[in-house]
Amino acid sequence: MRMLKIEKKTYTSTKSILFGSLVALLMGFGIASLIFWAYGVNLLYAYQKILKGSFGSSFAVSETIRRAIPLLLCGVGLSLAFRASFWNIGAEGQILAGAIAATWVALFSGIPEPLLIPAMFFFGFLAGVVWGFIPTFLKSKWQVNEIITTLMLNFIAASIVLYLIHGPWRGEEKRGFAYTNTFPQVAWLKMIGTTRVPWLTLILGLVAATLVYILVWKTTWGYEIRVIGENPDAGRFAGMSHFKVVLLVMFISGGLAGIAGVGEIAGIHHLLRNPEHISLGYGFTAIIVAWLARSNPLAVILTSLFFGAMFSGGDTIKVSLGIPFQAIYAINGIILSLLIASIVFTDYKISIRR
Amino acid sequence: MNWQSWLIGIFRSMGYGTPLLIATLGEIYSERSGVLNLGVEGVIAFGAFVGFAITFQTSNPWLGLMSAGLAGGLISLIHAFLSITLRANQVISGLALTMIGTGLAGLFGRGWEGTPLPFLARRILLTQNNFIFFTLILALLLWFFLFKTRVGISIRATGENPAAADASGINVWRIRYWCVFVGGVLAGIAGGYVSIIYRPAWTEGTTGGMGWLVIALTIFSFWNPIWAILGAYFFSAIFHLSFRLQAWIAPELLKSSPYILTIITLFFIGILKLKIKKAPAALTQPYERGE
Amino acid sequence: MKNKTLFLVMALLCAILMVASVATKTVEAEEKTLKALKAGFIYVGPPGDYGWTHAHDEARKICETFFPWLKTIYVESVPEGQAGSVIDRLIKEEGCQVIFTTSFGFMDETLEAAKKYPEKIFAHCSGFERAPNMATFMADFYQVYYLNGLIAGALTKTGKIGYIGAYPIPEVKRHKNAFDIGVREVNPTAEVHVRWINAWFDPDAAAAATESLIAEGCDVFAFTEDSPAVVQTAAKYGFPSFGHYSPMYKFAPDYVVSGQIVHWEVFYLDFLAKVYAGLYTNQNLENVDYWLLLREGAVEVGAEPGMVINPIYEEALKAVTVDDSLLGKISVYDLCLKRLKQMSDPSMVFDPFEGPIYDRNSLLVVPEGTRLSVSELTAIEWAVEGIVGPWPGEPGVE
């Protein structure tokens, strides 16, 4: 049986990372082209449309940014979590937690109108933190695998949303359909110009990315996070508290995801509805966004934009090319696999052992 | 409501539990060898489609099931290659598999929707009962294999301490590849079961959500095939009960109970420091000789 | 280093591609015949659901074949909340002049878009908000469910009939009520046991709900769910059922007695023709609300088009008779066909929701001799007597 000898390189240059990713992307697009061709779509036309649909007009750019914002917020949080080797797969659930909190504030809290938006973000952040706390606690105290706990909490959060919209929070104005009432206008996020991009969450995302970057590389906290992430034993040896570090990390990660949820609810939906339509898989996509950015919050800005463009271009594919959306889903998966493989080739030196 | 109707109800709910059990048995093997496969959702969907398509073309459900299994196994090799050979992050790799599997299933499935399999209802009922029987036997066999044979011990060793296993001559990579492959085959069969026997038709999203239940169930059954039997039918009974009890308990809360129970299970494993029933220690860690 | 140059070349290529895409015009040629109309359809699910979206899509295709001047484009599986940006794309990038949104959940976004694009025309399905350039439309099954109920009442041996519904919204409640009214007309002691799966599409849940009702003793089944799961599950145990939305006869030819079938093209053809002819403009749609029933041909009763009652069940239905005050002693089979004729008549000689009707708490909800108006029909929350089971939002019960 052939054996690949794989050694981790001591240093990987940004250039080779970019190069490797680019090759993977091109291969991915190559496969995508096959699918387009199978659907009888002119390839040049297809790519023109896709690029135009993601960047080619101010509308397209705004769509790309709009889709990128929740990915940016969650991605930054996840990049921090992953850096501490805490595999937070629960961003979907934390988004929903934020959404629930925002709904409560807007409809049931009785908070005075001018304070509604700040309150929504405050409580949304808190809700995300709370939702992320359970797996954090379980991991720190009893080494319970966080991959599973965070994953399960996604479904539980979705169930809670479903319960609320069908039961106690069902809106009287909605003729029996499963929605809460629509939020008052003051609780709607303001957009940039005529686009659908809410400036508040955009700024929050960019600020978060910067702050987290500073946190990780310029503070002692950040140092501890990095040590715990790469070598937990060394950290323990040096007297670092694993619990406190992970708590801080998840505080930010859960909170940012909660904010993403608030952004979606207050910016797009203005009510609570079917959880799948709220979180839209952003929590899972953000995992990939963070991973692709090698857990670097500034790079997350780029990768979130990239995926924003994929979504936006995907919409174009759906609308203009008539290619079923499942194709995009499959293409994304294939591109992701190729990117995973490319990481190996950039991060590791491979030789065949005979 | 009399006892009999409840019992009948429970038995009737076994239908959903059977594919759940089959796929879980596969995931147990995969995780026992140390590889977490989050892509089960995609594998099941892909298997469901392939199984349906082949059965439709050949009018042979057994051929359909076998192809479903084979398709599931093959597509899981993507995850195996990425996470075992290339030692990539198992979470990401698994998610990629989910995307590919569900995407391809939905993509290829277009045009097949609404076409029923031209079979008699009677034949299906017969097969379903047989299948439950087969599945139980399978679970017992797999339990025996895992705990009472040398290969089974090797598998478990690989999942607990791959370095030690490697040192004692076990081919860690081969074991993991096989386990992921078998996991995929079983997940594929489970998917095929749903689209051929349980509800013979193809519609978009026909197996939605089963993969995540499988992951929960794998843990809930403490990675043990026998307990998985109880767990699978218990989960499916909850599902069935959520309709019976609709008037008293909100169905959404009841349906989230498998996930809650899983967390509670993990909590107890952790707090009681159960040595016997812990997760395979090396789960999700790629293995490299000399690292 | 070789890698470096390769990388730069790749980056350059990408940049060129991007610039090219922005700079050049699209390849697609705009076919401008005399006067073309482009309509965009927004679906909440995939046409492959063989249910709601499938039916709309079939209608769309019929329109395209029928009208040479019509071009259509559809977008499937649009999540609620995203319709707004899809509409933006359809209008800005695809040049659509008419937009159809086919789910209640798109209502607010459609209204918003109607205000944003006052020159374009919008039509929203199953909603209640309108604007000068936004109409509403709906094809309702309550009459068809009533007819199915007549049949169910005659076929049941246990006196218990199951109805698996999606959401406890007035639409589904209305259908369950109509079904029950039909059942009780033939079999005054029979019960309709209801369940809600809280989803439009969830075959597993529908199958489980069916099994749960079977365990309760039900032996005939109707449902509101976008898949043949109930039909197949019921057939598995040998029970008859009524197909929903799309012709489901082929899923169990021995067990599908009848059903509800929709023909959305009745709406689309009419609406698009009127838009094209200039009868409907972006100014006069404020009060345009299509409420389509049997007499318009938008809905049909049957296991498949043309088969009102499955011939296998003909004999059984002829064997059961009912004493009707106006029609005398009549077999259920003939009663069913007679009622169909009465309701298909333009003046709608018969309506199931004509009083006196009592809900299951013995309240008189429809007084003698009156019929429910359209707005009352779309707001039904009560359960007719004979219905057994959970009924969220039931008035007077909290």
**C55 at B interface, C-beta within 8 A:** no
Q: Which letter does DSSP use for residue A243 in this model? A: H
Q: Which residues in chain B touch residue A344, judged by CB atoms under 8 angstroms apart? A: 86-88
Q: How many CB pairs under 8 A join A and B?
A: 140
SS3 content of chain A, % helix, strand, coil (to 5): 75, 5, 20
A152–B271 CB contact, under 8 Å:
no
C212–B125: do the CB atoms touch at under 8 Å?
Answer: no
Interface probe with B: pick from A337, A346, A348, most Cβ of B within 10 Å: A337
Task: Check: CB of residue C141 under 8 Å from CB of residue C164.
Answer: no
Confidence category of residue B268, pLDDT binned at 50, 70, 90: confident
Burial class (CB in 10 A: 0-12, 13-18, 19+), B66: middle
**How many other CB atoms are found less than 10 A from the CB of residue C15?**
10
Cβ neighbours of residue C141 under 8 Å, at least 6 residues apart? C175, C178, C260, C262, C299
CB of C45 within 8 Å of any CB in chain A? Answer: no
Collect all residues with Cβ–Cβ distance below 8 Å to B130 and sequence separation of at least 6.
none
Residue C390 contacts B, CB cutoff 8 Å: yes
Task: Give mean pLDDT, residues C62-88.
Answer: 92
> Which pLDDT tens digit goes with each residue over A203-241?
999 999 999 999 998 998 888 888 888 887 888 788 778
State yes or no: pLDDT of C24 exceeds 50.
no
User: A159–B252: do the CB atoms touch at under 8 Å?
Assistant: yes
Nearest CA to CA, how far is A267 from chain B (Å)?
27
Tokens (6 digits) for B199? 């509800």
| Residue A6, H or E segment | strand A3-8
ipTM field: 0.85
Contact C212 B9 (CB under 8 A): yes
pLDDT (average), residues C45-73: 89
Whether residues C49 and B5 touch (CB distance < 8 A) is answered with no
Task: With beta carbons less than 8 A apart as the criterion, state whether B21 and B133 touch.
Answer: no
- Distance in angstroms (rounded) separating the CA atoms of residues C8 and C14: 10
Euclidean distance between CA atoms C349 and C331, whole angstroms:
20
For residue A335, give the nearest of A300, A299, A261, A285 by alpha carbon.
A285
Other beta carbons within 10 Å of C367: 10
Query: Residue by residue, what is the 3-state secondary structure of chain C?
Result: CHHHHHHHHHHHHHHHHHHHHHHCCCCCCCCCCCCCEEEEEECCCCHHHCCHHHHHHHHHHHHHHHCCCEEEEEECCCCCCCHHHHHHHHHHCCCCCEEEECCHHHHHHHHHHHHHCCCCEEEEECCCCCECCEEEEEECCHHHHHHHHHHHHHHCCCCEEEEEECCCCHHHHHHHHHHHHHHHHHCCCCEEEEEECCCCCCHHHHHHHHHHHHHHCCCEEEECCCCCHHHHHHHHCCCCEEEEECCCHHHCCCCEEEEEEECCHHHHHHHHHHHHHCCCCCCCCCCCEEEECHHHCCEEECCECCECCCHHHHHHHHHCEEEECCCEEEEHHHHHHHHHHHHHCCCCCCCCCEECEEECCCCEEECECCECCHHHHCCCCCCECCEECCCCCCCCCC
Contact assignment for A155 to B96 by CB distance below 8 Å: no
- Residue A1: the pLDDT is 43
Q: Does C76 touch chain A (CB under 8 A)?
A: yes
**Residue of chain B minimizing CA distance to A329:** B103
Tell me the shortest Cα–Cα distance from B4 to chain A, in angstroms. 31
Q: Which domains does chain B have, with CATH numbers?
A: 3-272 (1.10.3470)
- Going by pLDDT thresholds of 50, 70 and 90, the confidence category of residue B105 is confident
| CA–CA separation, C171 and C367 (whole Å) | 21
Asked if residue C175 has pLDDT above 50, the reply is yes
Count how many Cα atoms sit within 13 Å of the Cα of residue C379 in the half-sphere of its side chain.
Answer: 10
Give a three-class secondary structure readout of A47-86.
HHHHHHHHHCCHHHHHHHHHHHHHHHHHHHHHHHHHHCCC
Residues 6+ apart with CB under 8 A from B110: A324, A326, C46, C48
Chain B residues close to A89, C-beta within 8 Å? 91
| Chain C residues closer than 8 Å to B1 by CB | 216
Best mutation target among C82, C109, C175 (most A Cβ atoms within 10 Å) is C82
Q: What would the two tokens of residue C39 be?
A: 């309509």
The token duo for C48 is 């492959």
Ranking A165-179, C92-106, C125-139, C282-296 by mean pLDDT, the lowest is A165-179
Distance from CA of C128 to the nearest CA of A (A): 10
Closest by alpha carbon to B199, among B124, B97, B93?
B124
Higher per-residue confidence, A2 vs C172? C172
- Coil, helix or strand for A181? coil
For residue A265, list chain C residues with Cβ-Cβ distance below 8 A. none
Q: Which residues pair with C289 in a beta bridge?
A: C136
The letter for the amino acid at A66 is R
Interface test with B, best of C160, C194, C221, C232 (most B CBs within 10 A): C232
> Which residue does chain A place closest to C48, by CA atoms?
A324
What does the pLDDT average to over B150-171? Answer: 88
For the record, the structure tokens of A90 come out as 């629960």
| Backbone phi, psi, residue C190, to 5° | -70, 160
- In this structure, the dihedral spanned by the alpha carbons of residues C141, C143, C146 and C147, taken in order and rounded to 10 degrees, is -100
Is there a contact between A51 and C85 if contact means CB atoms under 8 Å apart?
Answer: no
CB pairs under 8 A between B and C: 103
Q: pLDDT tens digits for A251-290?
A: 999 999 999 999 999 999 999 998 988 988 899 889 989 9
Counted across chains A and C, CB pairs separated by less than 8 A come out at 120
The answer to whether residues C62 and C92 touch, using CB atoms and an 8 Å cutoff, is: no
Confidence at residue A351, expressed as pLDDT on a 0 to 100 scale: 64
Q: Is C239 on the interface with B (CB under 8 A)?
A: no
Shortest alpha-carbon distance between residue B119 and chain A (Å): 29
Give the residue on A whose Cα is nearest the Cα of C40.
A319
- What amino acid is encoded at A270 in this protein? H
Residue type at C103?
S
User: C173: nearest CA in chain A?
Assistant: A176
CB C75 within 8 A of CB C41: yes
Contact A83, A235 (CB under 8 A): no
Query: Who's near B148: CB < 8 A, 6+ residues apart?
Result: none
What residue in B sits closest to A335 (Cα-Cα)? B96
**B171 contacts on A by Cβ (under 8 Å):** 1
Structure tokens at A174: 């909605």
Fold of the C142-261+301-388 domain: Rossmann fold (3.40.50)
Q: Which chains touch A (3 or more CB pairs under 8 A)?
A: B, C
pLDDT (tens digit per residue) in A300-338: 999 999 989 888 888 888 887 777 777 777 888 888 888
DSSP A217-231: HHSHHHHHHHHHHH-
| Distance, CA of A160 to CA of B252 (rounded, Å) | 7
Could you tell me if C197 and C160 are in contact, meaning their C-beta atoms sit under 8 angstroms apart? Answer: no
- Predicted confidence (pLDDT) at residue B125 exceeds the cutoff of 60: no
* Average pLDDT of the segment spanning C194-207: 83
pLDDT for B279 beyond 90: no
List of chain A residues whose C-beta atoms are within 8 Å of the C-beta of residue C99: none
Asked whether the beta carbons of residue A341 and residue B271 sit closer than 8 angstroms, the reply is no
Give the tokens for residue A217: 């590389």
| Beta-carbon separation of C76 and A318 below 8 A | yes
Q: What mean pLDDT value characterizes chain C?
A: 87
Give per-residue pLDDT as tens, C355-367. 899 999 988 999 9
pLDDT tens-digit map of A106-145: 999 888 888 999 999 999 999 999 999 999 998 888 888 8
Record the tokens describing residue B122, joined without a space.
């009677």
As given in the structure block, the two tokens for residue C164 are 């698996």
Structure tokens at A98: 């934020």
Q: List where CATH 3.40.50.2300 sits in chain C.
A: 21-129+264-296, 142-261+301-388
- A contact residues 266-305, partner B, Cβ 8 Å cutoff: 284, 287-288, 291
DSSP-derived letter for residue A195 is: S
Residues 130 through 169 of chain C touching chain A, CB cutoff 8 Å = 167-169
- How crowded is residue B260: how many other Cβ atoms within 10 Å of its Cβ? 16
Cα within 13 Å of Cα(B287), Cβ side: 27
Residue C168, preceding peptide bond in cis (omega within 30° of 0): no
DSSP class of residue B245 equals: T
Mutation target vs A (from B112, B174, B222, B252; most A CBs, 10 A cutoff): B252
Cβ–Cβ contact A166 with B under 8 A:
yes
Which chain A residues are within 8 Å of C84, Cβ to Cβ? 196, 268
Q: Which residues 155-174 on chain A approach chain C with CB closer than 8 angstroms?
A: 162, 166-167, 170
The Cα C121–Cα C138 span in angstroms is 17
Multiple choice CATH, C21-129+264-296, 1.20.1250.20, 3.30.1180.20, 3.40.50.300, 3.40.50.2300: 3.40.50.2300
Q: Is the pLDDT of residue A12 over 80?
A: no
pLDDT of residue A18: 77
DSSP run (H or E) holding A291: helix A282-292
Nearest to B89 by CA among B126, B23, B46, B35: B35
Confidence of residue C223 (pLDDT cuts 50, 70, 90): very high
Kindly determine whether residue B93 and residue A328, on different chains, have CB atoms separated by under 8 Å.
no
Q: Which residues of B touch C (CB under 8 A)?
A: 1, 5-6, 8-9, 12-13, 15-16, 106, 109-114, 116, 121, 124-125, 128, 198-201, 203-206, 239-240, 242-244, 246-247, 251-252
List the chains bordering chain C where 3 or more Cβ pairs fall under 8 Å. A, B
Inter-CA distances, A25 with B41, B81, C18, Å: 25, 19, 15
Contact C94, C73 (CB under 8 A): yes
How close A140 comes to chain C (CA, Å)?
38
Bridge partners of residue A198, in order along the sequence: A191
